[in-house]
Amino acid sequence: MPAIDFYYIPESPPCRAVEMVASIAGVKLNKHYVNLFTEENLKEDFVKLNPTHKLPFIVDGDLKMGESRAIMCYLVNKYMPNDKTLYPKDPEKRAKIDELLHFDVGSLYVTGLRLLRPRLFGPHKELDPEAEKAFKDNLEILENHLAKSTGKFYLGDNITLGDITLATSLTFLNALGYDVSGYKRLSAYLERLKKSIPNYGEINDGPLKSMTDYVRTKQEG
């Protein structure tokens, strides 16, 4: 199986979600580190390859594509044709996974990043109350769903692409200093994911520690 060219920064939750799916699918990634903090993604050669200049981005033969959730779906569709759980072909099951993927990127991740971006890129230590309320509303949605669920994971007893992207989003926001331990079911769910997703620690532990240390240094500075 040829390697896929993978343009990424390991601290990015969407990049790590793609890494985990590739690991599960047995796809080798030819990694190209792109430093967003020094704006390497805006260099002419990279913009020529990837006009959106966003990460992650892959090149698989003639295919060039971005958007992490789309990449995750593509990897399963192409390299796991017999998959029945991660992204099943049943229309109703797949629809619920798609719904969760869109909720993550359109609601949870965006409100969390809006809340915590000042800690990452700016000098601000205090959280904006309006942004925090929007983020908490989404955490409550997850908590309430898990309260009604009888399965180990968000949509049942099998890990799906939706679980993987939620895991990276929530642990990243926690690394930026937002404590979600008050959401007991959500916290327990995250612990189950960490233990159940193959190669979770190998892919996530280092980048998450790096982000935690970075934010702590900024807050103390």
Annotated active-site positions, please?
12
Closest CA to 167 of 186, 183, 182, 150: 186
Contact 161, 76 (CB under 8 A): yes
Contact 184, 139 (CB under 8 A): no
Contact 50, 42 (CB under 8 A): no
Beta strands in the chain (DSSP E): 4-8, 29-33, 57-60, 63-66
DSSP 32: E
Residue 76 CB coordination number (10 Å): 21
